[in-house]
Structure 1
Amino acid sequence: MPRLRFVAFLLVALLLVPLLTQCSGPWHDPSPHTIRFVNVDQRVPLEVLNWGGSGRPLVLLAGGGNTAHVFDAFAPKLTGDFHVVGITRRGFGASGFRDDDNTADRLGDDVLEVLDALRLEKPILVGHSFAGLEMSSVASRYPQRLAGLIYLDSGYSYAFDNGKGADVMQMMKLQAPQPPGPQKADLASFQAYRNYVARIDGFSVPEAEFRAQRKARWFGRVGDGIAQPGGSMLMAVLSSGKKYTQIPVPACFIYASPHSLGPWVENNADRKVQEDGRRFIANLTALETEQIGAVREAFPADRVIVLAGAHHYVFLSREAEVLNEIRGFAALLK
């Protein structure tokens, strides 16, 4: 009997070892980039992703709350035409932070210091959401440093305000219906969490982006959110009243309007959720239309693209169209 118990124990151990190794082993980001850190503002390290590629430099700037890893699946599709780089803003993900001198132009200077460190000459900046502010900051002060700008649902009043559009702070006061939080099964792994978000929004977000936002627990489970010290900085910068009335660099604006709230709202069996969603979209679209009209008046019509029914993460929800617009705009630049 002792020998049988020993054999049984050995068999169980042999079965558990590969399982434990698989669950507790390090996760590797499958996106084909290298990672380095560039010190800006003397002592703030910024995470910089480099996907390589040939051609003109193209620098991807993430929206508020995101890191450069949100482009992990999108960026490799551009390396046939560009040398593609992404920057994680201070206060988010693996980038450092300091709580002094966090202004719009300081964030723009961070981008410039990365360009200098990587020796990127005359790049195209492509920014999502809040990154429109950083792009306009750089362009308004150093237009000679840039070839062009592409605003991915980021051309709102924090990026361009000639007094004729809508104030983004009005948009932020609108309340969209909120989905239920993830259940236990949704937190069983990062892939399960990705599936949960995809069911709500209708598109997939790279796993590395979620790993930059949430803790990893034993056996691959998803833990609590990771504190992002840059969150309050973003609100302070938005509230500062800084205005960019001109953009002296060739620019392309890609808007999602009317916005999609994803299948959780649009296919929801609860009529109240659908009605609240429609009301939110109607109010948001009215403000967006006002801002888009101001941009159309100031910029060539063929450089203002409106993708009806796209999600705010327009480069993920309408990837093929956005890629085509980027390539088409870049072909017009000197």
Structure 2
Amino acid sequence: MATVAVHRAVLGGGRPTLPYAETGRPGSGPPLVLVHGYADSWWTFEPMLRAMPAAMHAYAPTQRGHGDADKPAGGYLPEDFADDLVAFLDHLGIERAVLVGGSSGGVQARIVAGRRPDRVAGLVLLGTPALLADKPGTAAVREAVRTLEDPVDREFAAAFARGLAVGRVAPGFLETVVDESLKAPARVWRETLRGLLETDLAATLTGILVPTLVVWGDRDPVLTRSDQQLILDAIPDSRFAVHEGAGHVVYWEDPERVVRELAAFSAALRP
């Protein structure tokens, strides 16, 4: 089991301070930077980080407003998170990285891949939506989030997290995920969701020329195969990995397989 160390990145320039987890050691290839999704934190990747061999060097920042990161009054659009991500790379002196976006974290990851291909060696999208506003359950979630007050109701957060997985997830880990989500104030839940729903997500798929791996669970309660096909059609150098029997968060349900896929994908990247 890999050792995971937690540090803090003081981005400066008016940007928030972000905690981040790190595992592995620097190697000859670009490191992985894992980008979490909505109402989450770096903890969502803890099972993957623990499963990584020492030769895989990975970072997982917690984004503004979430977990133990700073919680500024504004800046919760996908492009704001994308700008923070580039600042995070700058802070750590990372010239190029493999960006791994989990769920909606893949939106800001692909924004960076499209706008700053010089900083991105490869892109991995784990259960990332091509589009979101068109999904059947979106209106109900938006209405529920609109009425949230501080402190965010634990049962609401737990139901939200439980609804993302269909396979077995360790109960203790799921409790930690819920604890982390409750660190985001109600306004961050609202503003982050608003940003995702009001951004033209189709436009964030254009101009991505870096090698891309799309990973999807075929029992995902949120995303359909046709949604994932939109991503594959938009990105020329993309490939598809299907986890049969898995739900939305494949990295919770089968972290070891995802780590193997990341290792193979990274090894195949051009120097």
Normalising by the residue count of structure 1, what TM-score does the alignment of the two structures yield? Answer: 0.64
The residue number in structure 2 matching 1:61 is 35
Q: 2:261 is matched by which residue type in structure 1?
A: E
Conservation of the 8 A alpha-carbon contact between 1:124 and 1:147: yes
Q: What is the distance in 2 between the residues matched to 1:38 and 1:48?
A: 11
Q: 1:171 to 1:149 in 2, by over 3 A?
A: farther
Q: 1:230 to 1:331 in 2, by over 3 A?
A: same
Q: 1:155 to 1:40 in 2, by over 3 A?
A: farther
Q: 1:299 to 1:99 in 2, by over 3 A?
A: same
Question: What is the CA deviation profile of residues 166-193 of structure 1, one whole-angstrom value per residue up to 9, with x for unaligned ones?
Answer: x5432433879xxxxxxxxxx9xxxxx9
Bigger Cα Rg:
1
The residue number in structure 2 matching 1:212 is 180
Q: 1:97 to 1:227 in 2, by over 3 A?
A: closer
Q: How large is the RMSD of aligned CA atoms in angstroms?
A: 3.1
Of 81, 97, 108 in structure 2, the residue corresponding to residue 134 of structure 1 is: 108
- 1:237-252 correspondence to structure 2 within 5 Å: 237-242=195-200, 243-244=203-204, 245-252=206-213
Of 153, 173, 186 in structure 1, the residue corresponding to residue 138 of structure 2 is: 173
The residue number in structure 2 matching 1:321 is 257
Q: 1:289 to 1:72 in 2, by over 3 A?
A: closer
Where relative contact order (Cα < 8 A, 6+ residues apart) is larger, the structure is: 2
Conservation of the 8 A alpha-carbon contact between 2:166 and 2:246: no
Q: 1:319 to 1:300 in 2, by over 3 A?
A: farther
Does structure 1 residue 233 correspond to structure 2 residue 194? no
In the TM superposition, what is the alpha-carbon distance from 1:113 to its structure 2 partner?
Answer: 0.6
How many residues matched? 244
Q: 1:36 to 1:226 in 2, by over 3 A?
A: closer
Q: 2:102 is matched by which residue type in structure 1?
A: H
Q: 1:79 to 1:85 in 2, by over 3 A?
A: farther
Q: 1:292 to 1:64 in 2, by over 3 A?
A: same
Question: What is the CA deviation profile of residues 75-104 of structure 1, one whole-angstrom value per residue up to 9, with x for unaligned ones?
Answer: 132242321111111111111122334322
Q: Which runs of 5+ in 2 are unaligned?
A: 142-153
Q: What is the distance in 1 between the residues matched to 2:24 and 2:5?
A: 7
- 1:237-316 correspondence to structure 2 within 5 Å: 237-242=195-200, 243-244=203-204, 245-259=206-220, 288-299=224-235, 303-316=239-252
Q: What is the distance in 2 between the residues matched to 1:126 and 1:171?
A: 26
Q: What is the distance in 2 between the residues matched to 1:69 and 1:101?
A: 22
Q: What is the distance in 2 between the residues matched to 1:46 and 1:94?
A: 8
The residue number in structure 1 matching 2:80 is 106
In the TM superposition, what is the alpha-carbon distance from 1:330 to its structure 2 partner?
Answer: 0.8
SS of aligned partner of 2:67: coil
Q: What is the distance in 2 between the residues matched to 1:301 and 1:249?
A: 7
Normalising by the residue count of structure 2, what TM-score does the alignment of the two structures yield? Answer: 0.78
Question: What is the CA deviation profile of residues 254-284 of structure 1, one whole-angstrom value per residue up to 9, with x for unaligned ones?
Answer: 011232xxxxxxxxxxxxxxxxxxxxx5xx6
Q: 1:211 to 1:298 in 2, by over 3 A?
A: closer
Q: What is the distance in 2 between the residues matched to 1:49 and 1:228?
A: 25
Question: What is the CA deviation profile of residues 189-211 of structure 1, one whole-angstrom value per residue up to 9, with x for unaligned ones?
Answer: xxxx9xxx6x9862122665444
Q: What is the distance in 1 between the residues matched to 2:212 and 2:261?
A: 12
Of 9, 15, 18 in structure 2, the residue corresponding to residue 46 of structure 1 is: 18
Q: What is the distance in 1 between the residues matched to 2:15 and 2:184?
A: 22
Conservation of the 8 A alpha-carbon contact between 1:38 and 1:48: no
SS of aligned partner of 1:73: helix
Q: What is the distance in 2 between the residues matched to 1:121 and 1:227?
A: 33
Conservation of the 8 A alpha-carbon contact between 1:91 and 1:228: no
The residue number in structure 2 matching 1:70 is 44
The residue number in structure 1 matching 2:56 is 82
Q: Which runs of 5+ in 1 are unaligned?
A: 1-29, 158-166, 177-186, 188-192, 215-224, 260-280
In the TM superposition, what is the alpha-carbon distance from 1:40 to its structure 2 partner?
Answer: 5.0
Query: 324-333 vs 47-56, which deviates more?
Result: 47-56
In the TM superposition, what is the alpha-carbon distance from 1:248 to its structure 2 partner?
Answer: 2.2
Question: What is the CA deviation profile of residues 38-83 of structure 1, one whole-angstrom value per residue up to 9, with x for unaligned ones?
Answer: 2355142111222242323111111211100122232132242321
SS of aligned partner of 2:99: strand
SS of aligned partner of 2:134: helix
Query: 201-210 vs 62-71, which deviates more?
Result: 201-210
